Amino acid sequence: MNDCLFCKIAAGAIPSTKVYEDDKCLAFMDIGPVVQGHALVIPKEHFANLSEATDEVAAHLICIARKIAVAQTKALGAAGFNVITNQGAVAGQTVGHLHFHVIPQFEGNAHKWNWEARPYGDLSEAAALAEKIKSAL
Ligand code: AMP
Ligand code: ZN
């Protein structure tokens, strides 16, 4: 077995508190939740991050993340949720196996993201960046 923490969890070599499993993916409780109920969804196959994954795996993980989020809403009384993946150390990725965080948000006990807007000086700057992104699609 490789030395990847989440591969070991997927293989059952390291224990986890599972909430969902199928042939392609596993969802389990995050050991360091930013909000109680925080879960992770991972592919069983190793992909370092979202960029490396196939479209099929990425799509399946999002479908399962949505199911978990809806279940958190119904069963835990969450008023909303965040579904995110962190890619690269610069984005806060600490485990090098693709995972989506599914984080329930409760009225009065929400995790506040440091979502600091940095507006463009001129909208032409956004248009220039959009052109660069489009050319790479
Ligand atoms: P990230 O920083 O986006 O790579 O997220 C990694 C997440 O994995 C963190 O939220 C950790 O709390 C979580 N984590 C690390 N080790 C374990 C583990 N053994 N079981 C469950 N969650 C874990
Ligand atoms: Zn892995």
- Residue 82 Cβ inside 6 Å of ligand 1? The answer reads no
User: For residue 106, how far is its CA from the centre of ligand 2 (angstroms)?
Assistant: 31
- Supply the mean pLDDT for the chain: 96
Closest CA to 72 of 26, 41, 105, 40: 105
For the chain, list the domains and their CATH numbers. Answer: 5-136 (3.30.428.10)
Known catalytic residues? 99
Task: Supply the pTM of this predicted model.
Answer: 0.96
- Residue 133 Cβ inside 6 Å of ligand 1? The answer reads no
Which ligand approaches the C-alpha of residue 6 most closely? 2
The C-alpha atoms of residue 9 and residue 5 are separated, in whole angstroms, by 6
Average pLDDT rounded to a whole number, residues 25-45: 98
Q: Whose CA is nearest to atom 15 of ligand 1?
A: 31
Q: Whose CA is nearest to atom 11 of ligand 1?
A: 32
The C-alpha atoms of residue 42 and residue 53 are separated, in whole angstroms, by 11
| CA 130 to mean position of chain CA atoms | 25
Q: Residue 23: is its pLDDT beyond 60?
A: yes
The C-alpha atoms of residue 60 and residue 54 are separated, in whole angstroms, by 10
